[in-house]
Structure 1
Amino acid sequence: MNEAGRLDDAVERAVRWSPFLAMLVDREPGIVAAARDGRLDLDAWIDPDLPTGTALRRARRALALSVALGDLAGVLDLTAVTAALTRFADLALDTAIRTAIAERYPGEEPRGFAAIALGKQGSHELNYSSDIDPILLFDPATLPRRAREEPEEAAVRIARRVVELLQARDGDGYVLRVDLRLRPSPEATPIALPVGGAIAYYESQALAWERAAFIRARAAAGDLALGQSFLGAIRPFVWRRTLDFGAVGEIRSLSARIRDHHAQGQRLGPGFDLKRGRGGIREVEFFAQIHQLIHGGRDAVLRAPATRDALTELAIAGWIEADDATDLAAAYTLLRTVEHRVQMIDDRQTHRLPTGDALDAVARLHGLANGEALIAMLRPHVERVGTVYDALDDRRRPALSVDAETLEQTLAARGFDAEAAGRRIAAWRGGSYPALRSPAAREALEAVLPVLVEALAKAPDPDQALLRLDRMLERMGSAINIFRLLEARPGLAELLARLLAHAPPLADELARRPALIDGLIDASALDTIDDAAPLVAAMLGGDAGDYGARLDHVRRVVGEARFALGAQIVAGSADPLAVAAGYARVADAAVEVLAQAAIAEFAAVHGQVPGSELVILALGRYGGGALTHASDLDLIYLFTGDFDAESDGAKPLGATLYYNRLASRVTAALSVATAAGALFEVDTRLRPSGAQGPLAVSLDSFARYARQDAWTWEHMALTRARPVFGSAAARGATQAIIDAVLGGDRPARDVVAEAVTMRADMARHKPPRGSLDVKLASGGLVDLEFAVHVLQLTGRTGFDPDLGRAIDALAAAGLVAPSLRAAHDLLTRLLVTLRLVAPDLEPPAPATRALIAAAVGVADWDSVVAGADAARQEVQAHWARLTEA
């Protein structure tokens, strides 16, 4: 059947089975004739010669018929139907606002008065016969008003007239039902709210369901700039970067209350509530919104207002199963379509399937034989939605006993020192720490205790993990959110237990910033960091509006990334060598973003030096691209161009002074602690002339110093130099200088003798800090670095900032044994791992020894010790051959 035939059939079904549509067919013969010819007009036309209310009512009547026929004929899908209905609602609301203002204040534009669309109007998913749920806002400073008229009084009068224009009924019907009860405290507040008061409410008092409502909010009518400004101001309230599983729990509770309140409509059959019933429309919406609230604060792509769009994005991001997204979207489409059929019967805002003959009428309007066929069509979809949504509900977890004896039995069965662990849990329950003193905090504790105890019991040393959790709670300002997160994601509780059992630095960081655990909910948090570009993008994002806010934001991103990298080692999900490279890429991103921010801030006052730019050179472990959790950054600041030049700003500076002050600003950006925490320790002592020299020197001065005056240890340092900031041309020019110096453009010296003297001095001044100090101990990584650098300088080959690749190059040249690379890799893996799990560099508890063995890829602790000894002996032998030759 062609389109015209389908529309003709739709007209016949409409007349036969829907009293409302039959009335419209009788009153709109032109639309019917066009439909029979295969034409539909979905653009509402408002007759300017009629009173506004009348014109809107007639426009709505015409659109209702056109949309219904297109829907029944299958010419319009659900997206097109709801989009047409929403477009009209926006137009009608905007027209009503303009009319209300023009009637009262002739000649005035609709400034200072806006309508925020919530619910299905906000997401362009409006029902066939639906009310709209706007929040009406006004700006007291710009709202038109009469002399001696208060802005509040003027706004309420405008709002009342808007509602009247839309809701008034006559022989042409009505325009839209308006529900203003979604505004804050509707029983006590006026129907139009001052925008400042509304912002203050949503920032401080709003409830969880209001957050969910604003997922679908948009400025729809009136002063759109005012509406958009309001939504921008409250965006952080809706999309919180720190996860709030309390809000998720409240939404689940709301769903449960809806099920209970509408108990008669829960079971599929005649009388089933398509919206509120189990497996109905609301549960599809809540399923999407719960996941959006959890993840949308960290990923803006997930903030799609429309339900099916949200499901698609959540599936693409991997937060929900693709099959669940597909099935829920199909169910939503069918449920909404049938809901529209029910509403078309009498133009009533109902969501409940009728009973008896009336159900048959709905089925036949849809093109089915009877009500039984309609129920059969709905059944698999409703059951699938109910099953998927029920899987979210974890309220049935058993509680941990409050009886001391029973609790101790449970703890003993799980491997704890039952008496000590029981006392500690009793102290938590008694509110012994500030974070646990409120009833809400203790309620959250009770909800998570069963999950937490189970997770801690799986730790190699449950009592040690419990003790570190206790120390963490003691230092936390608030514990509610982390408890709710762990309750919702038991897998995170297990990872937290491992962090607490094995990694004191990470446990300390988590105590200072509990929100760090949020980052681990993202599955990608345990992926290696292979590229700094995504980190740069993340650091450039956020809501940082000024320099200080940017510093805070970068510190948060870096803190989360470094914490996640450390967690990878504890979780056993990544090679410590890859983690070391990841730490360096985090630093690369931070240097790039913060140096640019510091330059922009500095240039705003002092301008720029024409033909010149800053270059930052990384050395040491950072230059080699392999940091640990505790590494500092060895940096040299250089600048290109003429050192006699002058900046062009309001307060000009000579180039040397300019770049020295700028370098100091960059160092502060990288190192000064802010409210968001610390970042890196920065060491600039490797610069030309050391701590006594200027902080930044020109590239020409750097080249001259490196060629003529640098000491052997400085040439050794250059073997690991890597430009990390500056244009490609500037980096290339800097690298060319380094390559020339290392290649022989330097004074002839007895490199071996000087290296031996330097290593002996270092050994006297920096002895090993513990028995596991694989860096400073004889045959450790420092000896390995010395050996490699001596060979590079004497042989003028094998240059690569990456020490592992440098060893490979030297081995290929026949200068070292290939086995030296394996020694390097083992010692580096140990260094990176020990910085996290044994920061005192002494043998840890037996449980942590197994983690270290797994991290470095050997069977057990004895193999760790034997492997480290063999690697150090290899390095010692190589160093001895080199220095004794």
Structure 2
Amino acid sequence: MDQQQLERTQFSSLYATQVMQNLDGIWQSDYEIDQFSQPLTRQQIATFLKDNLDANSDEATWMRQIRQIRARLMLRWIWQDCNNLTDVRTLTRELSDFADLAVIVAKDFARPALIAKYGEPIGEDDGTVQDLIVIAMGKHGAQELNLSSDIDLIFAFDENGETNGRKCVDVQQFCIAWGQKIIQLLEQVTADGFVFRVDMRLRPWGDGSALALSHAALEKYLIQHGREWERYAWIKARAITGGKKAESLMQMARPFVFRRYVDYSAFAALREMKAMIEKEVMRRNIEEDVKLGAGGIREIEFIVQVFQLIYGGSRFELQDRQCLVALKHLMDDNFIDQQAFDELKHAYLFLRRVEHGIQALEDKQTQSLPQDEQLRTRLIFALNFADWDSFQTELKQKRSRVSYYFDALIQERINAGDEPTVSGELQELQPYLDESSYQRIEAFWQSNAVQRLPSTALKRLKDFWPYLVQAVIDVEQTQTALMRLLPLIESILRRSVYIVMLMENRGALQRLVKMASVSPWICEELSRYPVLLDEFLSMDFELPQRQDLENALRQQLLRIELDQVEDLMRVLRLFKKSNVLSVAASDVLAESPLMRVSDVLTDIAEITVHSALQLAYQMVAKRHGYPLDVNDQRCGLDHLGFSVIGYGKLGGIELGYGSDLDLVFVHHYQEQAETDGTKPISGLEFAMRVAQKFLSLMTTQTLDGRVYEVDSRLRPNGDAGLLVSSLKAFEHYQKHSAWLWEHQALVRARTIAGDGDLNQRIEAIRLEVLTTPREESHVREEVIKMRQKMKDHLGSSKDQQKDGIFHLKQDAGGIVDIEFMAQYAVLAWSGSNPDLAHYSDNVRILQDAAKTGCISSVDAETLTQAYLSERMMSHRLALANQSLQVDATAWRDIRFGVCKLWQRLIDPSSTQDLEGM
């Protein structure tokens, strides 16, 4: 330590000066002065404690030793902070590590005496020895401790029972005594000071309640009695002892903090907490408090925590305990912009540094700026300011920016203004509704569902109703919008936080009403899965890019362990549903091009299939090990030996809303060779289990629905065949056993997930099969037969056709006619024009047919435009939940052109279709 650094430490820290003057010989060889500038790892702190604490000493000696260790470490940290040799995040992490380890060594020191007195605490259910679970709360839990922080703790244990000693007590009494001893060992002030002040007031029921609770009692409390402000506190909760039992307890507490649905009721708790803090600030006259005052640390934490509570249930990245990490996620998820992030981050680090400087003065738990001139001089010197005025200028600037963002992001919701009432709203609606709709609204308000609502939920509904009425009156189709939204309102009555969410977001409510006036399908999706409301209301209505979709799903899945299957399923489902909903909104409001819409819907499906396959493969491999491929190579995540082929609309890059996925699975394993795990299975069984696990991830019905319905009947031999085919079996079937209609299906097939090398081999087989020369007359005959069969079973009846009904997909001149002509072109002509088999989508097949001269460019354009027009209308009808049967008159010209080409290219005898138009 050089002279200037020594002077700075002495001048800025009374506490550090006293330590240096009064403790002799405290520096060991591995903690010399010249190492003060180096950060400490958790392991180094643990080693320091182990080397300087005598676990076999008497209690007084042990307490003196740990207090002297604390003094030595505090001197080190204060000296580093004053001399700019550390940063806020490093310092708070080291302080938190020391707090963890201090609790752990105190717990270990206290245990033997208790065991000697009472025996070991034994659980009544599984007979295991019970451990004391210590949960760190607040800044300790978030690993953000200050130089002179209290530590907020909660004590718990897994299950009730009794000790097995001569003096028997129940497990709770034992753990209470254990906790009391830890507090005494750390908190009691002796001639050597203290280690940490311990605050237990965040435990269930607070002061006066039991000091330790069982897992079951804590769970019951959180479910039945947990208050909103406690959710804020539990965001930062972290178990520091207790092993797997503690992990289980923390998993139990997570749904209390982070609701499955988007939870705007967090604002209500924020109102109460903010009001309490402001009242306390005024009562104690502590406006100069850098934590609790306006623009202080607490407001930055509030900004972060309110978004964590609102969105953390569905956005796992927002569950991070650390303020700055969560703040960064808010920016990444577009809740705040780059400038807001930068300014809040810099303000937080600055205010925390000031807080440390204040606390280093006299080792007091305070965040108020000193009034004494000498202390002010020490503080600004430690913080590298020339004078108090320049420090105040910087401080006020930082606090003003925090206040600005707090007002912009939070305060505007707190000061929502006077709320209107329901009275008179039914009369205001009357001019816009017919009699049956008006009666439907009246029936809603008189229904048992509404009448039996808890008082809080009923009040929220009544407060919300006038805003809904005004929003629907502002759109042209008032009655349509309201009638479509009413089922959504009914579905969220008992989850009234959604009502709060809509009321807190007036602009979003207006967008929802506008969408309802256009698309009942969107309303029905939201009614079935209200969790999608958050995603829907925050959409920007721009079609997402594939890379962004891939990154978003990958990041969400990376945060979940492989054995947390329910959470993995939920992420897959919400990813698919929210993004399909986003595409639908863009389709309707931004009028996005049809081909682009289909591309993105297909991207969403492919990305989901790819991720589900990776998860399924890892789950099976974790249990059984990895299989061998046919070349004796060990398969792994970079060489799956497994592929998924997409058929139909997925293969043709033409997915619509609500489309099923037609999938076929192919493997390349040695079917009889065993996997290399501790529970080996054959290669064939491995492939089957991967496919089954994949289907389970995709199709299991949960509270969030399914990802997709999957149809695997296009596999070799259909339902009678194995779920997964070997590459060899797939090739043999396609070349020697498949019907022509199966080769028609192969036209619209392509690999969409799995092993890259295997995908290439499958594609080579597909091209070889499709480009095999065929008798054109045979192809024509089979295509005509199959087309007629589909018309008979799926098309409009003769009576419907007479009434002027046209089925956009199945009737003559519809979508299927065009698809069949594209497939006919590939099967009949690709033997001499192999380029026709390259693409799987109809538009590019028709374009290639024109390029090769198989059809004229005029004919290709006629079919392409007809196809796009009919598909565009089918999308619109799907969003409107309407049948594909439309007025034939409006489609006569398009149908005539398609039927004429069908007659010329495939079936000259089909004059009846033309005559009927």
Aligned position for 2:310: 294
SS at match of 1:137: strand
330, 333, 339: which one aligns with 1:317: 333
Deviation at 1:284, TM superposition (A): 1.0
**Alignment partner, residue 79 of structure 2:** 69
> How far off its partner does 1:88 sit?
2.9
Aligned counterpart for 1:834 among listed residues 877, 896, 903:
877
Provide the secondary structure at the position in 2 that maps to 1:433.
helix
**Inter-partner Cα distance in structure 1 for 2:33 and 2:692:** 78
CA–CA distance in structure 1, aligned partners of residues 108 and 679 of structure 2: 51
Q: 1:877 to 1:265 in 2, by over 3 A?
A: farther
Matched, 1:23 2:23: no
1:810-860 deviation per Cα after TM superposition (whole angstroms, max 9, x unaligned): 22223242524344333323322321125224679xxxxxxxxxxxxxxxx
From the superposition, tell whether residues 171 and 594 of structure 1 become closer, same or farther in structure 2 (CA, over 3 Å).
Answer: closer
**CA deviation after TM superposition for structure 1 residue 83, in Å:** 3.1
- Indicate the RMSD between aligned Cα atoms, in angstroms: 4.6
User: 3-state DSSP class of the match of 1:789?
Assistant: helix
Is the deviation greater in 331-340 or in 531-540? 531-540
Report if aligned partners of 2:67, 2:193 keep a CA contact under 8 Å in 1.
yes
CA distance in 1, matches of 2:375, 2:21: 24
Change in CA separation of 1:493 and 1:734 when aligned onto 2, cut-off 3 Å: same
Is the contact made by 2:150 and 2:196 (CA closer than 8 Å) also made in structure 1? yes
What is the alpha-carbon distance in structure 2 between the residues aligned to residue 676 and residue 296 of structure 1? 17
Could you tell me the TM-score, scaled by structure 1's length?
0.83
Secondary structure of 2:420's aligned partner: coil
* One-letter amino acid of the counterpart of residue 623, structure 1: G
Distance in 2, matches of 1:133 and 1:30, equals 33
2:134 counterpart (104, 115, 120): 115
Q: Tell me how far apart the structure 2 counterparts of residues 506 and 74 of structure 1 sit (CA, whole Å).
A: 56
Change (3 A) 1:597 1:385: closer
**SS at the partner of 1:249?**
helix
State whether structure 2 residue 818 is matched by structure 1 residue 784: yes
Q: Deviation at 1:256?
A: 2.5
1:825 to 868, 887, 909: 868
CA distance in 2, matches of 1:737, 1:202: 59
8 Å Cα contact 2:698/2:708 also seen in 1: yes
Query: Structure 1: which amino acid aligns with 2:815?
Result: L
Which of 648, 660, 682 in structure 2 is aligned with 1:632? 660
User: What letter corresponds to residue 235 of structure 2 in structure 1?
Assistant: I
User: In the alignment, is residue 566 of structure 1 matched against residue 584 of structure 2?
Assistant: yes
Structure 2 counterpart of 1:456 = 472
Q: Match of 2:460?
A: 444
Distance (Å, rounded) in 1 between the aligned partners of 2:683 and 2:35: 75
Q: Percent identity at matched positions?
A: 27
State which drifts further: 200-209 or 596-605: 596-605
Larger CA deviation: 787-796 vs 204-213: 204-213
For 2:354, the aligned partner's letter is: V
**CA 1:281–1:608: 2 relative to 1, 3 Å:** closer
Aligned to 2:181: 161
Equivalent residue letter for 1:70 = Q
Structure 2 regions of 5+ residues with no counterpart?
A: 122-128, 631-640, 909-917
CA distance in 2, matches of 1:397, 1:875: 59
Question: Which of residues 157, 160, 168 is equivalent to 1:138?
Answer: 157
Deviation at 1:282, TM superposition (A): 0.8
Give secondary structure in 2 for the equivalent of 1:89. helix
* Rounded Cα–Cα distance in structure 2 between residues aligned with 1:693 and 1:38: 71
Residue among 221, 237, 245 paired with 1:217: 237
Partners of 1:606 and 1:351 in 2: CA distance:
56
Q: Tell me the secondary structure at the aligned position of residue 136 of structure 1.
A: strand
Residue of 514, 534, 542 corresponding to 1:518: 534
Checking the alignment, whether the CA contact within 8 Å between 2:776 and 2:828 is kept in structure 1 is no
| Partners of 2:331 and 2:341 within 8 A in 1 | yes
| Deviation, structure 1 residue 136 | 1.8
- Specify the code of the residue in structure 2 equivalent to 1:149: V
| Structure 2 equivalent of residue 178 of structure 1 | 198
1:547 and 1:210, CA in 2 relative to 1: closer, same or farther beyond 3 A?
Answer: closer
Change beyond 3 A, Cα 1:200–1:683: same
Q: Deviations over 1:310-338 (max 9, x none)?
A: 22332233221222222222222232233
* Aligned-partner Cα distance in 2 for 1:309–1:665: 34
Checking the alignment, whether the CA contact within 8 Å between 1:428 and 1:436 is kept in structure 2 is no
Contact kept? 1:124, 1:306, Cα under 8 Å: yes
SS where residue 105 of structure 1 aligns? helix
Deviations 1:749-778 (A, max 9, x none): 433344344434433433248957432343
Query: Are the aligned partners of 2:521 and 2:879 in contact in 1 as well (CA < 8 Å)?
Result: yes
Q: Give, in angstroms, the shift of residue 287 of structure 1.
A: 0.9
Q: What residue number does 1:860 align with?
A: none
Give the aligned partner of residue 762 of structure 1: 790
Compare 700-709 and 651-660 and name the one that shifted more. 651-660
Candidates 376, 393, 396, aligned match of 1:379: 396
One-letter amino acid matched to 1:824 = Y
Aligned residues of 2:186 and 2:197 also touching (Cα < 8 A): yes
User: What secondary structure is seen at the aligned counterpart in 1 of 2:192?
Assistant: coil
| Displacement of 1:693 | 7.4
Q: Distance in 2 between matches of 1:343 and 1:213?
A: 23
Give the CA deviation at 1:686.
4.7
SS in 1 for 2:531: helix
Give CA deviations for 1:618-643 in whole Å, capped at 9, x if unaligned. Answer: 33223212121132333456666899
Instruction: Tell me, in whole angstroms, the C-alpha distance in 2 between the residues paired with 1:671 and 1:552.
Output: 12
2:827 to 793, 798, 819: 793
Which amino acid is the alignment partner of residue 486 of structure 1?
Answer: L
**Would the alpha carbon gap of residues 204 and 24 (structure 1) be closer, same or farther in structure 2, given more than 3 Å must change?**
same
Q: CA deviation at 1:245?
A: 1.5
Q: Is the 8 A contact 1:580 1:832 kept in 2?
A: no
CA distance in 2 between counterparts of 1:348 and 1:600 reads 52
Aligned runs of 1:305-454 on 2, under 5 Å?
A: 305-355=321-371, 357=373, 360=376, 363=379, 366=382, 372-391=389-408, 392-393=410-411, 394-398=413-417, 401-402=420-421, 404-405=423-424, 408-409=427-428, 416-417=432-433, 433=449, 437-449=453-465, 451-454=467-470
1:113 to partner: Cα distance = 1.8
Gaps of 5+ in 1: 845-863
SS at match of 1:473: helix
Q: 1:255 aligns with which of 247, 271, 274?
A: 274
Q: Indicate how the Cα distance of structure 1 residues 361 and 697 shifts in structure 2: closer, same or farther if over 3 A, else same.
A: closer
What is the identity, as a one-letter code, of the residue corresponding to 1:805?
Answer: R
Aligned match of 2:115:
105
Alignment of 1:743-758 (within 5 A): 743-744=771-772, 749-758=777-786
AA in 2 matched with 1:235: R
SS in 1 for 2:145: coil
- Once residues 146 and 766 of structure 1 are traced to their aligned partners in structure 2, the CA distance between those partners, rounded to angstroms, is 79
Decide whether aligned partners of structure 1 residues 698 and 328 sit closer, same or farther in structure 2, where only a CA change above 3 A counts.
Answer: closer
Show the counterpart of 2:767: 739
Could you say what secondary structure the match of 1:618 adopts? strand
Q: Tell me the distance in 1 between the aligned counterparts of 2:280 and 2:301.
A: 18
Letter of the 2:655 counterpart: L
1:347-403 CA distance string (max 9 Å, x none): 322223344657745655546576555433321112211121122131333556336
Relative to structure 1, the CA distance from residue 525 to residue 599 in structure 2 (aligned partners, 3 Å threshold; closer, same or farther) is farther
> d(CA) in 1 for partners of 2:673 and 2:815?
44
The equivalences for 1:415-564 within 5 A come to: 416-417=432-433, 433=449, 437-449=453-465, 451-476=467-492, 478-520=494-536, 523=539, 527-528=543-544, 530=546, 533=550, 537=554, 545=563, 554-564=572-582
| Per-residue CA distance 1:587-643 (angstroms, 9 max, x = gap) | 445555666777899999999998688765433223212121132333456666899
Question: How far is the alpha carbon of 1:259 from its aligned partner?
Answer: 1.2
Residues 1:809 and 2:848 are matched in the alignment: yes
8 Å CA contact 1:617, 1:636 repeated in 2: yes
**Which amino acid letter does the alignment assign opposite residue 839 of structure 1?**
Q
* 2:90 matches 1:90: no
Distance 2:727 2:27 in 1: 81
> Is 1:303 equivalent to 2:314 in the alignment?
no
Does the CA-based 8 Å contact 1:707-1:741 persist in structure 2?
yes
